[in-house]
Structure 1
């Protein structure tokens, strides 16, 4: 039976700081009828990603800002209920990369959706975590295409226990590098070293001087800095880069909740001093390579070289509270919301 109503989260007002239920509200709307070329999706999982906060701000970034009153744009994983697109039929699992929304049902053009393999080998939700642009593919292309690791080099990762950082570090280890993570808790540091194989981890919250601590742990300096944070952590890392270092600019979670201009980085001149390069990472630049990348990721999973963690919260009504965990560092791994339709998976 075709659903008639849809619960969705929408942007009520621009957030100041970490978004709350005053900024993002739940409403019930009608499910629109399908036009030619469209697909009706029953969403099973919602992806919670730091970049969504920037889209809420109204700033011009690599994507148009979310308008006031608009549903919160996101990547989702769900099942096709109805299709008027020749490439999809009812029962197909699909992912919409940053084109769907935090809602129970989505109507969207089939041209912006990707069919997900559902052969029983891996849960379909893996295409919202380890096989997705929001988790596995971002560090894959960031590390291999932009970082270009060479065995024996030192790689420094910020937000190392997050969905992206934890995978980026493991890929660098697979390539023979010495990997140092930056994180905000001793529990996460232990997980990174004992379970994921990082060589060293710095708890930046315990440091009086982060730049000096990085220098102590990375005496031969940093060849690749994979940055998910920006701000003071970026400045500390810049003081420790090696000649011809590669800096992968993946995210800047430290500034997403800023209410005014963000200063710095103050030590940007180190890039000139060390003939370093800085490259911004957009996974969408590599869409035509997704299948090949996921084939290699699957091989690493099956051989035990790669491990990952999913942090799953149940219920659309808990999405806003769960999202705040990204900015407090409470999550470990890929943060997802599981909707009622996915209960039997």
Structure 2
């Protein structure tokens, strides 16, 4: 299977640069994966496709202000640091620019309250650093850091919360689980009052989510790793739904990757945490998700491959062609798809 098989034409003007004024008023393309039937709806219509006893699963990760700017001791040149993964305690993996200046042992100062020392350099050039700070790290980041946006969004973010889901809780991501951006608290209350169970897990979205697949053959691609946590409570809710013949609706590719990773690891859904590098592409057998809420994804990306595995490559490419013709908005701040 070739990476080029997942390419499609997308006019640049369809790349959404800002969120819709009301989150749940984004358009929603509804796709029946059995028949290929397409419906044009709005996101607030999602409640009509959920039934009492179903489970809506969401990723409650929160985007951290992961982009920092500092300088070396006695140097004026600005160094950019992009925080990627928390390894342990004060030790993090970071992307730095310009990297040549950041040798092992180099100290970088951001403020009187925050600095770091480079401890190691990985093969890919990323730095392993140890932060030094006074106070609470997340509070310092909130004060000094900037919320990172995908490279295809050129406009400035007016409100930082626009790039957070309304249920975000656990800090650790460098990108938002964007399928969840369409929910409002009011819509979730309506969904819950209909008898649909809400369940949460956490997967910290990494920078690799933006990286295109560069190999010719899909199977040669090496997937990035991301840290996840799923509770016993969430597993019990999902397992009970399936036992009762109800459906599990996964919100976003990060939720799907977590659910399918845990099933693959345990042979069922069970309380778990760890790192996952699961790569889902056509040929993969889904075990947990019965339906998914997602956005429209980059050409030749692991995300469009994941969605194609849920239906078929041909059906997804036909659907994307229709979405382009109907001028749906694409990518992080774009419109939604519901596949059932």
**What's the TM-score, normalizing by structure 1?**
0.28
Tell me which of the two structures has the higher relative contact order, counting C-alpha pairs closer than 8 angstroms and 6 or more residues apart: 2
